Structure 1
Amino acid sequence: MTTAHRPRAARGLLLTVGALSVATLALAGCAGGGSSAPEALTFLKNAENTTTEPILQALADDQCAAQEETLPLEISSVPQADLDAQVQLLASQNGLPVMFSAGGNPAEGAKLWDQGVILDLDEALTDLGVKDKIAPGAISTIEKLYGGAFNFLPFQYNIEGVFYNKALFEENGWEVPTTFDELTALSAEIQAAGYTPLSASGEQGWPLTRLISGYLFRDLGPDALKKVADGEAKLTDPEYVAAAQAIADLGAAGYFGQNVTSLDYDAATNEFLTGKAAMIYMGSWLLGNINGDGNQIGAENVGFFPYPAVEGGAGDIGQYPANVGLPATFGSKTYTPEVGEWLKCIAENYGNEAAEQGQITGFISDVEVEQNEVTATIADTIATSTDSVLWFEALFNAKASNISSTNAALLVTGQISAEEFMGLVQDALDNP
């Protein structure tokens, strides 16, 4: 059993959309306008994030009590949709809080790094002697997302892969596929046995485009989509279209089921957890559902394997697609020795406290907690992975991301071709 701590009441001001101007003044005051040492560890986060605060509050009450005495933790929140604008506004007023979450667009975080207003965590954590408390794979993901530097902390960290019904596999003698060709052949066997091979939400779209990027990374290598973002390649290049075609072929064979277009995220998840689908591609956030009461196949019957290799491809099966949610960073202008003590304490203890509260993060945990096999597999993979890749839309603009997700179902149902799909997304990248 894991142990959860009861979070104390937040000391900070809970902000609403109508209070943004007041929030700006309050946070600028807490940060001292960049002209004086902070009097509190102010932390601005997105209101939708309910997982980070209980851990930080627990640390303030226990392991980081000395740091809390010197700099009291004060947490404030704004809606996620407003976070990018709020952080940029505070940065322009030299009023960033001591710690703050990234907004929804990684490019905005990269801008802050270029402006010199956020802390170099590589240097700071190395100086504090605690950089080894952050999982290398999480650092790799942050560097890929935020301008090539380690400048955000992975309070959340998810890896992606294929969850599968172990009981169903064992009953039918199916082997876990290690190549895409094996996955395709296995899907045919699963379909013949009367099950949906791969459950996916066509309504959301991104669960399908994740399969395209997975193929690209395994075939062309981990920099496949960065080359597109940098203008060195286009999604309409033949080798990129081939990835979309591979996923379109899965759809044409019916391996996503007959109702993929209408399935939303919850329905697709339910198909897997009720035993109707043998596999589902998803991130480690699915552990919440797997370990929940709605899992009819039982958590003990869920396994996990990485996106299979593409034979002859340049990618590595050990490079897991990953994301860090909305990570947090420290302002460079409010960083003092006292803030450094807080950062050190967080790095040393966040992973253990998160594990005790049943969370998996990008911080290393060395405490023994009871976990089922699939949860332990995910935790071990995160702790030992040294590299990662992103996802299809990670480096896209908002327009391209929307076109990608809204047309994915049309691709796998044959309503548009692979060439047309990739052309639509590339056009949005060229004309944001």
Structure 2
Amino acid sequence: MSAALPQNPSRRSVLKGIGMAALAAGPLSACAFGSSDTPATGGATGEKSTTNPFGVVANAPLEVVIFKGGLGDAYATEVHEPLYKKAFPQAEIKHVPTQQIAQTLQPRFAGGNVPDMIANSGSDMMDNGALQGEGQLLDLTALYDAPAIGGSGSVRDSLLPGSVEAGFIAGKPYMMKYIYTVYGLWYDSALFAKNSWAPPTTFAEFDTLLGKIKAAGIAPYAYAGKNAAYYQYWMIAVTAAQIGGNQVLIDMDNLKEGVWTSDPVRQAAEAWASIGKKYLDPSFEGLTHTEVQTSQNQGKVGFYPSGSWLENEQKEQTPAGFQYALAPTPSVGSSDKLPYGAVRAAAGESYIVPSKAKNSAGGLEYLRVMLSKEGARGFTEKTGIITVVKGAADGLKLSPGTQSSNEALKKAGDNIITYNLFEDWYKEFETDLRSKTNALMFGRSSAEQFCKDVQAKADAIKADSSITKQSRTS
């Protein structure tokens, strides 16, 4: 089929979400993506049993693509892949590490030669919602209904509450969310103790403390505008949820009319724009996340917004004596619906199995290995990050950052702010939100204009019939 043939509207939604860098590679052929009536599984299957519930062919090759970012890829090469190989010693495993998921896989989806399992993450992640809408993702219900490896009951029974639902698209689990992440403001507790600085509980205290940090010759607050502006819009969204309740984030995900121009979001944008105006060095807009994070390790940055993968991502750059710690987002005012100490926490990091994979049964089995206690415990040992598998990390000595995030999670109790799923559902919107966040934080847009512009984009996504709409209730 010719690459010059026009794209139909539903395929356009995939092309929007596959990543701007990937689109630069050129147009896809008209047969690049299948229709929604794609077969449920790909490749040959063998005899099914309780130990081989998906019927993996013992000598079938398995290809695994891993996003090599904050989590690295040793958890795959030294834990999960060896466990899979132990079960299927005749299987050849091809390991593909990359930080450019969309760029790497776009031509492969175009050519119909997809891998068997993908860790779809990072700034160049693919649009899971668009892929699902095109029939490109395997429904993982069978995974969760399968027997848990090394335990009793199903895989579903072995997971923390909400883990399966975190991967829902169109009411079914098309993504396996693996790590349990806590988000907030990260700092060096040793540096803070040396200077008698304490994490702030309100934005007024935040402002005062940032002034003291600035006076000490340290950049008070920083995020990487070049490739991680989403770290900052997370903070704006969390503050909005603190002010107006978690329903604000649900409304964002559901593209509810007027949510981005509502009082909670406007107040959150105003609070963070003030921080940006007073304390954010303009040079950070041109830096990557690793550059800013390394500056923090060098004692040049006070607070940095991120998730609990940060400590592991920076372990090679972290000097002795640096002690990662997490602070919850400060409260804006006494009328906030959620108290100080509320944190955003959820199952995160998407792992997917393409429906047209040559060995989709192997892809499912690989995920089952990941969700075994042995696989999950090994992951935590390699990354320092807790998974969604109940009790898998019991008895492990945790790093300072992981210990801090776990303590914050315990203190939060029921005051948990749930994940923004529009990142998985509407990649075009998410990409646009990054640029608008930079404009707000680096002084090119007012809070009012930011809210107006983001709402306009959300409305445009909602009105675009080529984009499959998703929703959640909690």
TM-score range, shorter chain: 0.7 to 0.9
Bigger drift between 111-120 and 228-237 goes to 111-120
- Structure 1 residue aligned with 2:273, among 224, 248, 255? 248
Secondary structure of the 1:350 match is: helix
Deviations 1:293-338 (A, max 9, x none): x224x45432112223444323464442556223135979999999
The amino acid of 1:208's aligned partner reads Q
- State whether structure 2 residue 88 is matched by structure 1 residue 68: yes
- Equivalent residues of 1:119, 1:332 under 8 A apart: no
Structure 1 residue 57: Cα displacement: 1.9
Once residues 303 and 72 of structure 1 are traced to their aligned partners in structure 2, the CA distance between those partners, rounded to angstroms, is: 42
- State whether structure 2 residue 452 is matched by structure 1 residue 401: no
* Unpaired runs of at least 5, structure 2: 1-24, 35-40, 49-53, 462-474
Once residues 265 and 233 of structure 1 are traced to their aligned partners in structure 2, the CA distance between those partners, rounded to angstroms, is: 32
The amino acid of 2:101's aligned partner reads Q
Once residues 290 and 97 of structure 1 are traced to their aligned partners in structure 2, the CA distance between those partners, rounded to angstroms, is: 29
The amino acid of 2:88's aligned partner reads E
- CA gap of 1:307–1:240, structure 2 versus 1, over 3 A, is same
- Equivalent residues of 1:164, 1:304 under 8 A apart: yes
- Equivalent residues of 1:138, 1:362 under 8 A apart: no
The amino acid of 1:220's aligned partner reads G
- CA gap of 1:336–1:271, structure 2 versus 1, over 3 A, is closer
- Structure 1 residue aligned with 2:223, among 192, 196, 200? 200
- CA gap of 1:425–1:264, structure 2 versus 1, over 3 A, is same
Once residues 182 and 414 of structure 1 are traced to their aligned partners in structure 2, the CA distance between those partners, rounded to angstroms, is: 22
Secondary structure of the 1:184 match is: helix
- CA gap of 1:117–1:257, structure 2 versus 1, over 3 A, is closer
Deviations 1:65-88 (A, max 9, x none): 3x326x847457597216478679
Once residues 361 and 42 of structure 1 are traced to their aligned partners in structure 2, the CA distance between those partners, rounded to angstroms, is: 30
Once residues 141 and 257 of structure 1 are traced to their aligned partners in structure 2, the CA distance between those partners, rounded to angstroms, is: 35
Aligned to 1:131: 156
Structure 1 residue 210: Cα displacement: 2.2
The amino acid of 1:407's aligned partner reads K
Deviations 1:374-420 (A, max 9, x none): 23334677899885522496267344323322232331232211122
Aligned to 1:303: 325
- Equivalent residues of 1:210, 1:392 under 8 A apart: no
- CA gap of 1:268–1:398, structure 2 versus 1, over 3 A, is same
Structure 1 residue 158: Cα displacement: 3.7
Deviations 1:71-125 (A, max 9, x none): 84745759721647867997xxxx9987555562231365479998442544446
Structure 1 residue 157: Cα displacement: 5.0
Aligned to 1:415: 444
Aligned to 1:12: none
Once residues 362 and 437 of structure 2 are traced to their aligned partners in structure 1, the CA distance between those partners, rounded to angstroms, is: 49
- Equivalent residues of 1:203, 1:264 under 8 A apart: yes
- Equivalent residues of 1:169, 1:175 under 8 A apart: yes
- State whether structure 2 residue 362 is matched by structure 1 residue 362: no
Secondary structure of the 1:241 match is: helix
- Structure 1 residue aligned with 2:101, among 56, 80, 83? 80
Once residues 221 and 204 of structure 2 are traced to their aligned partners in structure 1, the CA distance between those partners, rounded to angstroms, is: 15
Structure 1 residue 140: Cα displacement: 5.5
Once residues 131 and 390 of structure 1 are traced to their aligned partners in structure 2, the CA distance between those partners, rounded to angstroms, is: 20
Aligned to 2:43: 30
- Equivalent residues of 1:156, 1:326 under 8 A apart: no
Once residues 59 and 141 of structure 1 are traced to their aligned partners in structure 2, the CA distance between those partners, rounded to angstroms, is: 25
- CA gap of 1:237–1:39, structure 2 versus 1, over 3 A, is same
Deviations 1:120-173 (A, max 9, x none): 544446883443543436445434xx3454553334554321111212322332
- CA gap of 1:172–1:37, structure 2 versus 1, over 3 A, is closer
Bigger drift between 408-417 and 243-252 goes to 408-417
Question: How many residues end up aligned between the 2 structures?
Answer: 397
Once residues 177 and 256 of structure 1 are traced to their aligned partners in structure 2, the CA distance between those partners, rounded to angstroms, is: 18
Once residues 267 and 186 of structure 1 are traced to their aligned partners in structure 2, the CA distance between those partners, rounded to angstroms, is: 24
Once residues 98 and 261 of structure 1 are traced to their aligned partners in structure 2, the CA distance between those partners, rounded to angstroms, is: 37
- Structure 2 residue aligned with 1:171, among 194, 205, 209? 194
- Equivalent residues of 2:221, 2:279 under 8 A apart: yes
* Unpaired runs of at least 5, structure 1: 1-16
- Equivalent residues of 1:195, 1:276 under 8 A apart: yes
Once residues 48 and 416 of structure 1 are traced to their aligned partners in structure 2, the CA distance between those partners, rounded to angstroms, is: 33
Bigger drift between 399-408 and 98-107 goes to 98-107
The amino acid of 2:175's aligned partner reads F
- CA gap of 1:178–1:302, structure 2 versus 1, over 3 A, is same
Aligned to 2:471: none
Once residues 380 and 308 of structure 2 are traced to their aligned partners in structure 1, the CA distance between those partners, rounded to angstroms, is: 14
The amino acid of 2:448's aligned partner reads E
Aligned to 2:127: 105
Structure 1 residue 250: Cα displacement: 0.8
Once residues 343 and 407 of structure 1 are traced to their aligned partners in structure 2, the CA distance between those partners, rounded to angstroms, is: 36
- State whether structure 2 residue 248 is matched by structure 1 residue 224: yes
Once residues 392 and 255 of structure 1 are traced to their aligned partners in structure 2, the CA distance between those partners, rounded to angstroms, is: 30
- Structure 1 residue aligned with 2:337, among 299, 310, 314? 314
Bigger drift between 149-158 and 96-105 goes to 96-105
**TM-score of the pair, normalised by structure 1:** 0.73
- State whether structure 2 residue 75 is matched by structure 1 residue 46: no
- CA gap of 1:224–1:120, structure 2 versus 1, over 3 A, is farther
Aligned to 1:431: 460
The amino acid of 1:232's aligned partner reads K
Structure 1 residue 357: Cα displacement: 2.7
Q: Which has the higher helix share?
A: 1
- State whether structure 2 residue 375 is matched by structure 1 residue 350: yes
- Structure 2 residue aligned with 1:372, among 399, 408, 420? 399
- CA gap of 1:337–1:166, structure 2 versus 1, over 3 A, is closer
The amino acid of 1:405's aligned partner reads R
Once residues 114 and 29 of structure 1 are traced to their aligned partners in structure 2, the CA distance between those partners, rounded to angstroms, is: 11
Once residues 380 and 122 of structure 1 are traced to their aligned partners in structure 2, the CA distance between those partners, rounded to angstroms, is: 29
- Equivalent residues of 2:377, 2:393 under 8 A apart: yes
- Equivalent residues of 1:118, 1:332 under 8 A apart: no
- CA gap of 1:117–1:269, structure 2 versus 1, over 3 A, is closer
- CA gap of 1:417–1:88, structure 2 versus 1, over 3 A, is same
Once residues 340 and 115 of structure 1 are traced to their aligned partners in structure 2, the CA distance between those partners, rounded to angstroms, is: 12
Structure 1 residue 186: Cα displacement: 2.4
- Equivalent residues of 1:200, 1:208 under 8 A apart: yes
